[in-house]
Amino acid sequence: MVRFTDLYVKQIAASMRLLIWWLLPCFILKTVREVIRILYVQHDSRWISVAISVPLTLSWTYVSTISLSASILFHLLCNLQFIHFDDYAKLLERESDVMVFIEEHIRLRYHLSKISHRFRIFLLLQFLVVTVSQVVTLFQTTVYSGMINLSNGGDFAISAIVQVVGIILCLHAATRISHRAQGIASFACRWHALATCTSTDACLRHSNSLGSMEPLSQSNLLDITFSESDLDSMDYITMPTTTQLASYMSSYHRRQAFVMYLQANPGGITIFGWTVDRGLINTIFFLELTLVTFVLGQTVVFNSA
């Protein structure tokens, strides 16, 4: 864990910058909206309006900070796990013990399971709240027959930006780590193929009269096949021993079992069994599109001339 300290610090600093970069523009828009409302909307006293607007702006900033902080915290946890999955992919190049790979993968899946368990209610409620809020806002906007400007519609727009940014950060982080966790199986398949081919090439080598190892070339195969009779040529073929075959097959089956384990246990962020991946993102997109078209179909009417 110590070797990941610098990467952890960079990810935490990047998350703090992300929070500031998204919160600061929304705060500026909120402040501009309140200033415009004070200047252009008639009030008994502007000082009273200022005294009311300042606490409202501060309270809105506090609520928006808490909302975005929760989303960015989830985003940070997924990015920290992304570091470990990158290191796990490099582990396949450094180690050869299958048990080490399985134990490390079980540990990574356990951490993803804990993150999913801790945040599944938050993700589900955030998705439902944002969806209902946006649908209601769209319905009210399309039904309203008056003029919509920054003064009467600015709060809806700024709140919508904060909500949509929060859900996008969560879905992006969950999809990214799920895709990375599922991609480990492809790394393992490549590692298994390279290890198998390397072992096969090693078995095709034979010892010459000086005791050195050299690969079987085409000329060697021709000499063995045609220089003598078939029965005599069999004496010159060096067959692998039973111990070598057992060791090779044992390592092959261990690698094959490891690959099958990864394919059966892909991992990723889940919400009550649903893996948050690209397929779920497509499903969410079409659900939202269906709701939008339904609301527009109920509220927008085109009069024929």
Q: Look at the block and give the residue holding tokens 């501009």.
A: 32
In a domain, 137, yes or no: yes
In a domain, 216, yes or no: no
Phi and psi (nearest 5°) for 273? 95, -15
**Token representation of residue 6:** 């610098």
Position 235 scores a pLDDT of: 44
33-38 contacts, C-beta under 8 A, 24 or more apart:
33/150, 33/151, 33/154, 33/155, 33/158, 36/150, 36/151, 36/154, 37/151, 37/154
Q: Are 81 and 115 in contact (CB under 8 A)?
A: yes
In a domain, 269, yes or no: no
pTM: 0.77
Total structural domains in the chain? Answer: 1
Position 265 scores a pLDDT of: 82
Per-residue pLDDT of 145-172, as tens digits, reads 777 777 777 788 888 899 999 999 999 9
Closest CA to 190 of 141, 261, 255: 255
Q: Are 108 and 181 in contact (CB under 8 A)?
A: yes
Instruction: Give Cα 54 distance to the centre of its chain.
Output: 39
**CA dist., res. 17 & res. 35, Å (int):** 27
In a domain, 9, yes or no: yes
In a domain, 195, yes or no: no
Helix, strand, or coil (residue 274): strand
Q: Position 208: which residue type?
A: N
Position 303 scores a pLDDT of: 60
The CB density around residue 22, as the number of other CB atoms within 10 Å, is 19
In a domain, 228, yes or no: no
Host domain of residue 287: 2-178+274-299
**CA dist., res. 248 & res. 203, Å (int):** 9
Per-residue pLDDT of 89-133, as tens digits, reads 888 777 777 888 888 889 999 999 999 999 999 999 999 999 998
**CA dist., res. 86 & res. 184, Å (int):** 9
In a domain, 124, yes or no: yes
Spell out, as residue ranges, where the chain has pLDDT lower than 50.
204, 206-240, 245-246
Position 229 scores a pLDDT of: 43
In a domain, 192, yes or no: no
**CA dist., res. 146 & res. 141, Å (int):** 10
